A = this chain, B = another copy of it.
Amino acid sequence: MLPAGAALEVIDPEGEQVADLAVFLARDPNEYFSAGRTIDYNERIALTAGDTLYSAGSIPLLRIEEDDVGTHDLLVTPCSERMFELMRGMRNHPSCLANLRDALAPHGIPEVLISSTFNIFMDVRVSADGRITIGPPPSRAGDGIVFRALEDLVIGLTACSSEFSNAGRCKPIGYRVIPEA
């Protein structure tokens, strides 16, 4: 639970790690973070300080206040067991979706509402012909991003389990909550 007015800082302590952020309005989890609405309202797929994350029903959820990196992804969904099976032939692989599902279930949020995530420090590039390529995260040790809560929110956060997104090594992600001044 992140109360309105508080800030969430997400830190990459070792560098080159991705963190998937899921966001829900506390009073109505059907107002889940929507990458599509967020792209529409910001008129950009690349968000940074000053930009706002929106819910499916167009409610402003979080505003980015500080950003050491400036590279985050809104296009792809959190990695899942099924994704590792389909794309890599790997079974029972740990995944962001499983981490978020297990962490959010006690808060009454079902997996079906984990629709899209804000993929912090993830470098997904779009080429002129529409192809996407995933590069290593450009975050260096100690880099961070700060989000301000615009409503009372439930937050899910996981370090990325995919060796294909985090430069081949699953590392920790740090965070802290900064109460409203």
Contact = CB atoms under 8 A, between A and B. Distances in A.
A83 B40 contact: yes
B115 A86 contact: no
Given A83-B58, A126-B126, A76 B132 contact: no
A168 interface: no
Interface string A164-181: 000000000000000000
Interface string A111-150: 0110110000000001001111100000000000000000
Majority secondary structure, A binding face: mixed
A39 interface: yes
A99 interface: no
Interface string A78-97: 00101100110000000000
A126 B129 CA distance: 10
Contacts of A57: 82
Copies of this protein in the assembly total 2
Given A56-B115, A82-B57, A75 B39 contact: yes
A112 B80 CA distance: 22
A56 B34 CA distance: 13
Contact of A40 (B43, B76, B126, B130): B76
A126 B131 CA distance: 12
Interface of A: 30, 34-37, 39-41, 43-46, 56-58, 75-77, 80, 82-83, 86-87, 112-113, 115-116, 126, 129-133
27 contacts: A30-B112, A35-B35, A36-B77, A36-B115, A39-B76, A39-B132, A40-B87, A41-B83, A41-B86, A41-B87, A43-B131, A43-B133, A44-B130, A44-B132, A45-B126, A45-B130, A45-B132, A46-B129, A46-B131, A56-B77, A56-B112, A56-B115, A58-B83, A58-B86, A112-B113, A115-B116, A126-B126
